[in-house]
Structure 1
């Protein structure tokens, strides 16, 4: 799998200068538009020098701004590709025709494993630590939202973490409950948004509402970045490419599982104390 621009940023981030990190954040929060103009346009948006922008793109492995911009344009074209278009452009079957469905099954498994490996290898550890830190703060309420398919990730995050801390709420898409949840968000809360291509307008709108109400927005998205990234305090990226026409949530599920492990570790004894209390109640079959 070819490394995307956002993944290049994640890998290089720790070694960037403060000004280059500012350029990186500007691009991530305004992807891909921040990089679509001139060098001077990008530098003005990031409030850094033009020379910083040139050094930034070179730190990502590009020879210059034009090469970086061409890659950005290619990637932005992938953001809204439909399942039908992906099916039409598929390179071929997962396995040789004579291997049958077993070969297809094994090929899919290999693809998912690679997607998980690429997701973990290209994770920005500063963003991961920031995400785990805000989710492990028991004083902060957490609201989790997902789209048509990604809502299962939001539900899973809440189900996993509610064993170890309170104040977790799943925001169900398109419901009266969604309006109720959003209206109750206050400064200091955390809004976790799952949004993958083809991106949800609801995810963008809900993230904006949460940010305007003072919540920290944690976005979990793909390497092409949801438009909701403009409101995100922290952004985590999971691979979604699959060999078939539909994108996969497998690497994102692995990301959620690993993030929950980090949160539980950060909670420490307080999390285990809650788990013991819950297990005791379960033992009473209430």
Structure 2
């Protein structure tokens, strides 16, 4: 039975090793410009992949779909979900929402997101990201979009305390070339990009990767176009009964990474925090208890 909680991309990846050579060629063609590459007619899809029409029909059935129309219907649903604006999204949730208090409904959605995301998250990817972020020989850059820029700033603020060589990039794409100018091979670029993906972030990722910069991506279950350029990708579930997507799971993973990095070099981190507290004292930033 087909698992409707998974994207078509997930299904393709899960079945990839069991596909024939022609079917793998088709799968790679579909994933290359996903999901748009799968929105044409079955004949067009076959021609673009250089395979026969029967190959397309056989593969979609092997993936668990009743036929090509059902396969394509799922792609259309995904595409609609990724481009839905806040008003359309709120109307959809409001129509389907059970008659319960928003706190309970929201908590249920967030907990489902967390369980699903953790079930799909590979600990090896998490450990690899923590290792990159903790390497003091690398410069770390953080950037996000119109909404996710706040998450990038939050991550940067903590990492700046833990280690040197951290930079928060401006959300203004016209300023990015100056940052890229200073990036060296082996540096790390942390990108936050969720649905209604921002084209400028994809351009930035392409340029950074060409300069051999390591990219860590935080995205959603539908996957930002940045994903093919990222060495480490956190694919996290974000839907909630709201006009806006939820950042709870993304923030959870960010905070877990912060702890992993600071604990890996606690002696140095503790010394930096001690020095910083002295600077706060001199600046009289915080009120002293009476």
- Shorter chain as normaliser: what TM range? 0.7 to 0.9
The structure showing larger relative contact order (alpha-carbon pairs under 8 Å, at least 6 residues apart) is 1
- C-alpha contact (below 8 Å) 1:8/1:122 kept by paired residues: no
2:34 corresponds in structure 1 to 31
1:84 corresponds in structure 2 to 87
Deviations 1:199-245 (A, max 9, x none): 11221222122122221222211111212223222221111211122
- C-alpha contact (below 8 Å) 2:262/2:269 kept by paired residues: no
User: Quick check: 1:251 aligned with 2:249?
Assistant: yes
1:162 corresponds in structure 2 to 160
1:184 corresponds in structure 2 to 182
RMSD, aligned CA:
3.7
From the superposition, tell whether residues 283 and 150 of structure 1 become closer, same or farther in structure 2 (CA, over 3 Å): closer
- C-alpha contact (below 8 Å) 1:39/1:65 kept by paired residues: no
- C-alpha contact (below 8 Å) 2:25/2:49 kept by paired residues: no
Instruction: Provide the TM-score with structure 1 as the length reference.
Output: 0.76
Any gaps of 5 or more consecutive residues in structure 1?
45-49
Instruction: Provide the TM-score with structure 2 as the length reference.
Output: 0.75
In our comparison, the structure showing a higher alpha carbon Rg is: 2
Map 1:180-219 → 2, pairs under 5 A = 180-219=178-217
Deviations 1:67-126 (A, max 9, x none): 544423321232111111112323437553xx6xxx222221222122122211122445
For residue 277 of structure 1, the aligned residue among 271, 277, 281 is 271
Map 1:1-286 → 2, pairs under 5 A = 2-8=5-11, 12=14, 30-35=33-38, 38=45, 41-42=48-49, 58=62, 62=65, 67-92=70-95, 94=97, 96=99, 103-174=101-172, 178-264=176-262, 268=264, 271-284=265-278, 285-286=281-282
Matches of 2:136 and 2:64, distance apart in 1? 41
1:171 positional shift: 0.8
User: What secondary structure, in the 3-state scheme, does the structure 2 residue paired with 1:79 have?
Assistant: helix
Any gaps of 5 or more consecutive residues in structure 2?
283-290
Matches of 1:63 and 1:39, distance apart in 2? 18
- C-alpha contact (below 8 Å) 1:29/1:229 kept by paired residues: no
Matches of 1:261 and 1:22, distance apart in 2? 42
Matches of 1:249 and 1:132, distance apart in 2? 20
From the superposition, tell whether residues 3 and 280 of structure 1 become closer, same or farther in structure 2 (CA, over 3 Å): same
From the superposition, tell whether residues 43 and 211 of structure 1 become closer, same or farther in structure 2 (CA, over 3 Å): farther
